[in-house]
Structure 1
């Protein structure tokens, strides 16, 4: 791990000089994290926080920001709560309390990231996110960067892959599909293209279409619809742990186990360690989920460090959160400045094939003009014996995919 950190710290990139042309030493720079640490998404937010704290510790241990005389990174954290309004208020308080923020990361749930980035964009603060909604980078903003494929892109790439996996396992292509989802921006964006011709294009009939507003209080009526229609597989798209647990329990009570009803989720919440603690491995066994990032083949040395540093039992989607802070660090090295505008310009100029790029699928990091990472692609992970492992694509997979939980 020391070699990895040294390599990241020593990474040489084409310099983007500060206005004076000279790097200025300083004692510390401030980076921010905004995550839901209370409310329905709190457990997910805590995982993100662990990843962020690990990244900051590693950056500082590796020498801080070398171009700024070894300046250490100070992490400030904001709890965005459980609603878009609280997220916006939290972002405003964060920037007011810490006017020296050079860049930030968050806020996981797309419906929170949207208002947070409205605030950070007005302030000119570079902001990185693993949220999926196309709207985040579709507003003409100059300081917002998304390292995940958008929800629409994920849907376009996922559907043919899912069908191929099913046909490979069973010998027949699915004919019917069900959708159970909440109405937050990520699942809405993920299913938009499917509803507007995508399913029909692949010969799929939508036989269940249930949309709810989180938090869900009763799952019985939703699951009854699924049991009556008996789709060949279910696009299972809640985003909050309590809702995932409630629906899975009801599906099992109605006899719809993974062997009888393959589940495909979209997003990292389906693979968090806390979900295993709350739901249990039997309910999760065989469930697949599409994600922007996960533990990848070839990351064995980092995986062991991750476990020790974060206290988490496997590498989650929040390896992106970890990587985002290294990207901010490298942007400061490039700019030789912690000025937010200089950091933003460096992120736009970035073209990495090493160092922090290791933490993202495909091993490259560069951004289009709208802030989306070029060539961002999906992964598929699957719960296997109490651990979610990457099963697609083959070059990143640590296990072969199976269509059921058997």
Structure 2
């Protein structure tokens, strides 16, 4: 995906980057002379297997910087403008950590990132050495905020919250349909994100009357799901519960249809490939798939305007955009209330945050050990080429289609 909002930046040449093994950190060519500047490090995988999602998170962050600066910057700091430091983590935790070191040396006052939990674990640990605040955008693993790092904050839900809420949603949807789903197979990618998710799901599903028949891990990337799907087919589950990244999610879903696996439904939690792009490109595969994920409040006009803004720029809307956007806005709100980019003052302002200027299906922010206790995902379903909220009722804009109609 082309990043049309990216500012001009000095970069290592491709040859130099390959020769030195260095991660590329984009810095401005010309220092701004007028207003004071607050530098924000945006660390994402913008090349490699996770590039698409990483680019979308980055663009969301850059949109927030553009909006904040256009509205007068950080007013409590004399109109200080935000300036992005852009780093490509390439899907490698050691590079994510090294980018923190580079950006800290370049004067970063805060960080956002890193899309993938494994990258976020490395980057937040590195940022803790400098006591620089880190606002997680995408990265759901509980460990991001349970290690006692005082500089790390996550506006969005963690894995435990997502799984707990997802089980409540699945239970209610299943019971309302007469409980056709009684068994499940869990398929997950094998890094921190998927492994942690599968463990939580395996413990939670039996509590809502769904037997787990198998847990099947896979690598990222995986190019062929034929053998995994044949194993699923042999287990004859009612549900396949999926937790993985974009390419594998779509390929697994396609293979399930190609192999004619008879299911009540596919249900994912934070499914990386559950998207409008998927809905439009593979309607016969995607229609009526259910995901429990982050999404906007469809009843908030600001959310619809934000989506239109993305689509008017030629992009397909996805949840990564508000991830990146509000991760930056959370930091900016702390700087505004602190009246300073001082690390300790910013961290104190974040810890006391009641940030509510957003269009997510949450209330005001309330952090407990760096985790926003008021944030919750929602149940989503692809219906007629669009994504609809089907649970909870307070935010729903369509009823659930469950079980999935037979082809």
TM-score after normalising by structure 1? 0.85
1:323 corresponds to 2:332: no
Do the aligned partners of 2:135 and 2:327 also contact (CA within 8 Å) in 1?
yes
Alpha-carbon shift at residue 317 of structure 1 (Å): 4.4
1:254 corresponds to 2:253: no
1:347 corresponds to 2:350: yes
Alpha-carbon shift at residue 105 of structure 1 (Å): 0.9
Partner of 2:287: 285
Do the aligned partners of 2:379 and 2:389 also contact (CA within 8 Å) in 1?
yes
Unaligned runs of 5+ in 1: 1-24
Match of 1:62 among 71, 92, 100: 71
Partner of 2:385: 386
Structure 2: how far apart are the matches of 1:29 and 1:254?
53
Secondary structure at the counterpart of residue 66 of structure 2: helix
Alpha-carbon shift at residue 305 of structure 1 (Å): 3.6
Secondary structure at the counterpart of residue 209 of structure 1: strand
Structure 2: how far apart are the matches of 1:113 and 1:213?
19
Structure 1: how far apart are the matches of 2:80 and 2:275?
33
Alpha-carbon shift at residue 107 of structure 1 (Å): 0.4
Q: What's the CA shift string for 1:219-266, capped at 9, x where partnerless? A: 111000111112111101122x22122212211111137xx4411111
1:244 corresponds to 2:244: no
Do the aligned partners of 2:389 and 2:397 also contact (CA within 8 Å) in 1?
yes
Do the aligned partners of 1:208 and 1:225 also contact (CA within 8 Å) in 2?
no
Do the aligned partners of 2:216 and 2:228 also contact (CA within 8 Å) in 1?
yes
Q: 1:314 to 1:299 in 2, by over 3 A?
A: farther
* Higher mean displacement: 176-185 or 203-212: 203-212
Structure 1: how far apart are the matches of 2:35 and 2:404?
54
1:84 corresponds to 2:80: no
Do the aligned partners of 2:74 and 2:335 also contact (CA within 8 Å) in 1?
yes
Secondary structure at the counterpart of residue 212 of structure 2: strand
Q: What's the CA shift string for 1:173-230, capped at 9, x where partnerless? A: 522111111112222222223434x333333222232111211132111000111112
Alpha-carbon shift at residue 37 of structure 1 (Å): 0.3
Partner of 1:211: 217
* Higher mean displacement: 247-256 or 297-306: 297-306
Partner of 1:106: 113
Q: 1:125 to 1:388 in 2, by over 3 A?
A: same
Do the aligned partners of 2:57 and 2:323 also contact (CA within 8 Å) in 1?
no
Do the aligned partners of 2:184 and 2:237 also contact (CA within 8 Å) in 1?
yes
Count of residues in Structure 1 that have an aligned counterpart in Structure 2: 369
Partner of 1:123: 130
TM-score after normalising by structure 2? 0.85
Alpha-carbon shift at residue 149 of structure 1 (Å): 2.3
Structure 2: how far apart are the matches of 1:76 and 1:95?
10
Q: 1:281 to 1:92 in 2, by over 3 A?
A: farther
Structure number with higher relative contact order (C-alpha < 8 Å, ≥ 6 residues apart):
1
Structure 2: how far apart are the matches of 1:135 and 1:202?
25
Unaligned runs of 5+ in 2: 1-33
Alpha-carbon shift at residue 42 of structure 1 (Å): 0.4
Alpha-carbon shift at residue 26 of structure 1 (Å): 4.7
Do the aligned partners of 1:181 and 1:236 also contact (CA within 8 Å) in 2?
yes
